[in-house]
Amino acid sequence: MSTKAADVVVIGAGIVGAACAWEFAREGMSVTLIDSGAPGGGATAAGMGHVAVMDDSEPQFALTRYSQQLWREIVDELPDDCEYETCGTLWIAADDEELAEVRRKQQAYTRRGIDAEVLDAAALARAEPNLRSGLAGALRVPGDLVVFPPCVARWLIAGATECGAQVRLGTAAVEISDRGVRLADDSLLPAGAIINATGHGAERLTPGLSLQPRKGHLAITDRYPGFIHHELIELGYLKSAAAVGTDSAAMNVQPRITGQMLIGSSRQTGQESTDVDMAILGRMLRRAMEYLPALARVSTIRTWTGFRAATADKLPLIGRCSSGQRSSQGRLYLATGHEGLGITMAPGTARLLVDAVMGRESAIPPEPYLPARLEKGDSA
């Protein structure tokens, strides 16, 4: 093995690490991407693959919109198995109070140049006949899209490889030190910059990040083409996703290009087991059935779980990590903490990091995502 230092070592071949490897390699830098398992085998494989603009906060909006624009630049090149489709999102309002929130969101989206329209009860029923009657309406965001993330990760890695990146799979990184990245086989990868993109497990290599793993469940059905046409999310999802420290389940059902449907979503904290928890799964499916009663007789083929990496302020950690400064001499960067938005935010995350490492100005302000904002005052 060569001991020549790579410009960048990316740890983690999920969608975020893969996007980083691709962007750095395209800049002509020498890149080594490492992962203990298969590409896109962690949270990337567990998520729904929804690329959505979200407006929980100004920085969240900026990064999701920027990322979605970057997604649009690559989707036409994606091979068929990446299952790209622009199905749009319907944020469902169950009652008038939620419909008022829909109107507020519609204004917020359109003011910032994102297409969004309000559907009243009748228009919603026409758009999605399998929804129960009596719903108040919905916000339709037509530009949101879906992909199949593990295959996108593979495609990004292949693109990075074409630009000269080295990929080492099946080898775990065990330590980030002042000399580089030490691997499980005790070899050392010297690096100019090190990107920790290992999702909710990032603290194993970089302690003190206060990431909270939030367990999620998903189910996928057999093929029912036309059962739904948009990604459907109850507006209450935002409350559910924002609730910290309690288990929650919200209706989120997505049509796949195969005719299958993904049914989510749940959030649990304090869980370590990857096992499917039938109690929360049942709660999640009952919630989906409240909106789509005909789901009762739809066949479920598989269920699974995954862990989102949540931060205290619901924004990702992107940029130089100063808490590990003494051991890594300021070469360590983070790309984690995306919670449920890792797929959406992957391209924007990669661009922000390339800009940070190369000392360039970014397209959006990078400050809100810098790890330093959440660090405890123990670093120099």
Give long-range contacts, CB 8 A cutoff, 24+ apart: 261-264.
261/220, 261/221, 261/224, 261/227, 261/228, 261/298, 262/48, 262/218, 262/219, 262/220, 263/218, 263/219, 263/220, 263/221, 263/288, 263/295, 263/300, 264/48, 264/216, 264/217, 264/218, 264/219
Q: Which stretch binds another protein (CB under 8 A): 59-67, 223-231, 237-245, 348-356?
A: 223-231
How far apart are the C-alpha atoms of 107 and 224, rounded to whole Å? Answer: 34
Check binding of 142 to another protein (CB under 8 A).
no
Residue whose pair of structure tokens reads 């203990």 in the numeric block: 36
Q: Which stretch binds another protein (CB under 8 A): 67-75, 174-182, 216-224, 330-338?
A: 216-224
Check binding of 223 to another protein (CB under 8 A).
yes
Q: Closest distance between another protein and the C-beta of residue 132, in Å?
A: 13
Check binding of 45 to another protein (CB under 8 A).
yes
Q: Closest distance between another protein and the C-beta of residue 122, in Å?
A: 22
**Mask 159-188, x = binds another protein (CB under 8 A)?**
----------xx------------------
Q: In this chain, which of 219, 233, 280, 356 binds another protein, going by CB under 8 A?
A: 219
Which residues inside 74-113 make contact with another protein, applying CB under 8 A?
81
- CA dihedral over 232, 238, 239, 242, signed as positive or negative: positive
Question: Which one-letter amino acid corresponds to residue 49?
Answer: G
In Å, how far are 105, 128, 255, 345 from 49, measured between CA atoms? 22, 21, 11, 11
Q: Closest distance between another protein and the C-beta of residue 172, in Å?
A: 15
Q: Closest distance between another protein and the C-beta of residue 193, in Å?
A: 28
Q: Closest distance between another protein and the C-beta of residue 226, in Å?
A: 9
By the 10 Å C-beta count (0-12 exposed, 13-18 middle, 19+ buried), 39 is classed as buried
Asked, as a colleague might, if the bond just before 210 is cis with ω within 30 of 0, I would say: no
Q: In this chain, which of 12, 14, 49, 150 binds another protein, going by CB under 8 A?
A: 150
Residue whose pair of structure tokens reads 């495609």 in the numeric block: 155
Q: In this chain, which of 100, 108, 242, 301 binds another protein, going by CB under 8 A?
A: 301
By the 10 Å C-beta count (0-12 exposed, 13-18 middle, 19+ buried), 359 is classed as exposed
Q: Closest distance between another protein and the C-beta of residue 248, in Å?
A: 16
Exposure of 344 in the CB half-sphere (CA atoms within 13 A): 24
Q: Which is nearer to another protein, 242 or 294 (CB)?
A: 294
Q: Closest distance between another protein and the C-beta of residue 274, in Å?
A: 8
Check binding of 213 to another protein (CB under 8 A).
no
| List of residues contacting another protein (CB under 8 A) | 37-41, 45, 81, 130, 150-151, 154, 169-170, 219-225, 227, 259, 263, 275-276, 278-279, 281-282, 285-286, 288-289, 293-304
